Structure 1
Amino acid sequence: MRLKGKNILITGGSSGIGLAAVERCLEEGAAVVMSDLPGNGGESLASKMSSQYSGTCLFIAADVSDTCQVNTLLTEMHNHLGSVDGVFNNAGIGGLTPTTEVSDESFQNIININLTGVFRVARGALQIMEKQGSGCIVNCASILGLFGQSQTAAYTAAKGGVVNLTRTLALEFAPKGIRVNSIGPGYIDTPLLKDLSEEMREFLVSLHPMGRLGRSEEVANAFVFLVSDEASFITGANLQVDGGFTAGKS
């Protein structure tokens, strides 16, 4: 029970990597706040998780692109559970669009959710963690936080920003007993990929030396390690969970 006694917030928690992280944290003894947009079935999922595991699982709806909602989310979590010990900054959106067809609004929307949203959640959590003198934040970056890819201008810009934001927050808050790291998943077999053609799916598989897509629970396992006391001397790191995708690139 590596997370026994810890209170963990997971954004984007109602599906894919986020939901896998919720389950793993509950298995490890944490109390979990699952957050996502309203209407994603979060309430029923949290209720199911609470009955399935011995730990507490609460759902609090929040849009990470809205500062007031993010601040309310963290205040409610603190009021319900008494502390914010760990955060998985996982909410995000993707998509492929030729750069010349990307509107200002579309570009800003992806930046607002994938980068500024990560900042909003981190800022609110850090304000609480400073008073506690402890805490850990893990931001979900991407392999595309390190490398470019055609037709992903906004996404790669955002994820590259997440990687460097992580390093900056780690430096600033290490003296205060707070750790900040990021995870860089490769292509993970989640509902986001369900509409891909078989040809595109095979192409994505071919990018990974291990010869397959990743599984949500493999990213969740990395999060559990980083948020646990086993990673107590790790901060400012970007842990690639990518089946070797980035190993041969520089």
Structure 2
Amino acid sequence: MRLTDKIAIVTGGARGIGRATAELFAEEGATVVVADLSVDTPLADGIEFVEHDVTDEESWRRLVAGVVERHGRVDVLFNNAGTVGSYEPIDTIDPELWKRIVDINLNGCFYGVRQVVPVMRENGGGSIVNTSSIWGIAGAAGVSAYTASKAAVRSLSKNVALSYVGDGIRCNSIHPGIIDTPMIEAQDAGVTAGIVDITPMKRLGTPREIANGVLFLASDESSYMTGAELVIDGGYTAQ
């Protein structure tokens, strides 16, 4: 029980990597609050659901205040909500779509950190895990807003780690490769096949494989890690 008595918030937790992580956190003893726009199928027993928009700072205030009111603190924040949104390059993407993608992927993390840092500081520390991507490390043609926002999440995580290390707050980023999630199912099959083809393991990863990495970063087992990048990508970025 690696998260016994921990209070954890998981954004984008209704499906995919977020859901797998929320379920694993609960299995490992945490009290888990899933924050998402909606939930399609019931979550496991004991996991709370809160309707939440990561791009709305007031929604973040209500979320964190509600968790503190019910449970007294926040020990873990998994900033996981995100979107690909567009595969367009810079010269053709609609600027409003660019802003929307950046708002979800980057500003969602920014607002989350702003709200949990005072709570974690007051309670002696905590762990923040931000979802970046292999494309926050390696380049990719097109996909302009996604790659820019995920690279920014990588850098933001290091800034948070260094800014709040004295408060006992750790922050690390996780960098999944191509994972079998509803977001990937919705994209063009040819795009998916192309990425799998250049992944050395030649397969999609599973949400649980990513969740295992997030669990490590959330738990006290990673107590000497902050500002680090955990890459789980079937070898993609090793090339």
In structure 2, which of residues 124, 134, 139 is the aligned counterpart of residue 148 of structure 1? 139
- CA distance in 2 between partners of 1:156 and 1:31 (Å): 32
* SS at structure 1 position matched to 2:230: strand
1:229 matched to which residue of 2?
A: 220
2:39 matched to which residue of 1?
A: 40
- CA distance in 2 between partners of 1:162 and 1:36 (Å): 19
Deviations 1:206-225 (A, max 9, x none): 12111111110011000001
Deviations 1:177-210 (A, max 9, x none): 1100010000101111224454433212112111
Distance 1:45-1:201 versus aligned 2 partners, 3 A rule: same
- CA distance in 2 between partners of 1:149 and 1:224 (Å): 28
1:18 matched to which residue of 2?
A: 18
* SS at structure 1 position matched to 2:157: helix
Equivalent residue letter for 2:42: L
- CA distance in 2 between partners of 1:28 and 1:130 (Å): 24
- CA distance in 2 between partners of 1:148 and 1:161 (Å): 13
Equivalent residue letter for 1:207: I
Deviations 1:87-126 (A, max 9, x none): 1100011131233221211111111110011110111111
More deviation in 183-192 or 145-154?
145-154
In structure 1, which of residues 158, 182, 190 is the aligned counterpart of residue 149 of structure 2? 158
1:201 matched to which residue of 2?
A: 192
Gap regions ≥5 residues in structure 2 = none
- CA distance in 1 between partners of 2:188 and 2:219 (Å): 38
Distance 1:196-1:91 versus aligned 2 partners, 3 A rule: closer
More deviation in 175-184 or 186-195?
186-195
1:53 matched to which residue of 2?
A: none
Deviation at 1:40, TM superposition (A): 3.1
Contact kept in structure 2, 1:204 and 1:213, CA below 8 Å:
no
Contact kept in structure 2, 1:99 and 1:151, CA below 8 Å:
yes
2:72 matched to which residue of 1?
A: 82
In structure 2, which of residues 104, 108, 113 is the aligned counterpart of residue 117 of structure 1? 108
- CA distance in 2 between partners of 1:197 and 1:71 (Å): 37
Contact kept in structure 2, 1:190 and 1:216, CA below 8 Å:
yes
- CA distance in 2 between partners of 1:59 and 1:225 (Å): 23
- CA distance in 1 between partners of 2:126 and 2:172 (Å): 12
Matches within 5 A, 1:210-249: 210-248=201-239
Identity of matched residues, %: 41
Deviation at 1:134, TM superposition (A): 1.1
* SS at structure 1 position matched to 2:237: coil
* SS at structure 2 position matched to 1:100: coil
More deviation in 187-196 or 237-246?
187-196
- CA distance in 1 between partners of 2:222 and 2:150 (Å): 23
RMSD: 1.3
Deviations 1:19-67 (A, max 9, x none): 0001100110110000100x433xx623xx11xxxxx311111101001
- CA distance in 2 between partners of 1:243 and 1:175 (Å): 34
Equivalent residue letter for 1:172: S
- CA distance in 2 between partners of 1:76 and 1:169 (Å): 23
* SS at structure 2 position matched to 1:223: helix
Contact kept in structure 2, 1:138 and 1:181, CA below 8 Å:
yes
Equivalent residue letter for 2:59: Q
How many residues get paired? 238
Deviations 1:119-168 (A, max 9, x none): 10111111110111110000000011112212211111111110010001
Q: TM-score, normalised by structure 1?
A: 0.92
Q: TM-score, normalised by structure 2?
A: 0.96
Gap regions ≥5 residues in structure 1 = 51-55
Equivalent residue letter for 2:51: A
